[in-house]
Structure 1
Amino acid sequence: MRKIGILGGTFDPPHIGHLIIAEEVRLALELEEVWFIPTYTPPHKDSTKTSVNDRIEMTKLAIASNPYFKINTIEIERSGKSYTIDTIREFKKNHTDCEFYFIIGADMVEYLPNWQEIDALVKLVQFVGVKRSSYELNTPYDILTVDIPLIDVSSSMVRSWLGKNRTAKYIVPEAVHSYIEGEKLYGTK
């Protein structure tokens, strides 16, 4: 069985925290690949700040230097709100040679009881929780935990900084930073 990590999110924009999480979990669990899955519209958010095409392009740029990282646009292709249960069911159907590990931050670990069909979902995929400041890894569900270096960064923080004309250099990969500036995303000038 191939061991595949899944990291879902809006990636609006992708930042070094996403990359560190993916790499640390990949190494700790000896995963063959980590699939980055941008959502079209996440169930827990009203909208994204940039277009689907911008988020796909930024994600591709962010992961380009790591041969173990891949992008999978299953949720973009589905369009509308995406639920993890639907994605995992499709993966299990189409990738019978794979065992999946769904990587989530501690903020999402606490939110697991609210996920669509969570009781069915935890039977289909192994959740992997990573620490995040201000959150605990407390849940009634069976999750693996992986310690990662705590870097307190989020996409909303990056957007806020850029909106205030503050640089996000070193917080997002260089190629993503150049793309954001070139496309004048998030209020950059």
Structure 2
Amino acid sequence: MKVGILGGTFDPIHLVHLLSAEQAREQMGLDEVWFMPAQIPPHKDESGVSDARKRLRMVELAIQSIPYFRAVDFELERPGPSYTFDTITLMRDRFPEHEFYFIIGGDMIDYLPHWHRIQELVQCVQFVGVHRPGYCPDNEFAQKHVRMVEMPLIDLSSTFIRQRRREGQSIRFMVSDKVREYIEENRLYESR
């Protein structure tokens, strides 16, 4: 089985995450896409990230009606920073019959050569880059190790959604209705 892994903070998961996963699935011929929230993203300040179980729940709500999307908690099982190399090693041990593709946003591609144990990682997984507004990776590493997929360029981020919530503005049509309801019910991202 060909499985795409879309890792991230998902704080919150939004419609561009879903669109990216769908475009990668179709264009790369993937059987499934697994959404994998990070426990402690190594590139973010842990104090500013919402509770991991709440982020996982939002992912579950966002994808519940899509049979080939799946929420996984592999990175939530381990303490410490979530390094992709460690996670992929664990997944390959658990699912040796699967072929894994790691989906990343275009904004992350330039940083990819600096990832933890990247030279070993590119031997274990195929990276799939999703175009994002304002980012045009043009380096030798990306050309050698990243297969790009096209998608509509929509400039939407979790940071923008959190900011709108803090300002009391609507996030409708940026996240699924179930995720929006969960955010509102749990008073996430409101001004403190």
State the SS of the aligned residue for 1:93.
Answer: helix
2:119 is the alignment partner of 1:119: yes
Contact 1:40–1:81 under 8 Å retained in 2 = yes
Q: How much has 1:188 moved relative to structure 2? A: 6.8
Match of 2:67 in 1: 67
**In 2: Cα distance, 1:52 partner to 1:85 partner:** 20
1:45 is aligned with what amino acid?
Answer: K
Match of 1:144 in 2: 147
Alignment of 1:1-189 (within 5 A): 2-47=1-46, 48-141=48-141, 142-187=145-190
> TM-score, normalised to structure 1's length?
0.96
Gaps of 5+ in 2: none
**In 1: Cα distance, 2:187 partner to 2:76 partner:** 23
**In 2: Cα distance, 1:31 partner to 1:60 partner:** 20
1:152-180 per-residue CA deviation (whole Å, 9 max, x = no partner) reads 11101100111110111000000000000
1:28-60 per-residue CA deviation (whole Å, 9 max, x = no partner) reads 111110000000110100124321121111010
> TM-score, normalised to structure 2's length?
0.95
**In 1: Cα distance, 2:126 partner to 2:49 partner:** 30
**Residues 176, 188 of structure 1: alpha-carbon distance in 2 compared, 3 angstrom cutoff:** farther
Contact 1:110–1:136 under 8 Å retained in 2 = no
1:19 is aligned with what amino acid?
Answer: L
State the SS of the aligned residue for 1:78.
Answer: coil
**In 2: Cα distance, 1:111 partner to 1:133 partner:** 16
State the SS of the aligned residue for 1:102.
Answer: strand
2:184 is aligned with what amino acid?
Answer: E
Give the number of aligned pairs: 188
RMSD: 1.3
1:129-187 per-residue CA deviation (whole Å, 9 max, x = no partner) reads 01111111223332111001111111011001111101110000000000000011000
State the SS of the aligned residue for 1:186.
Answer: coil
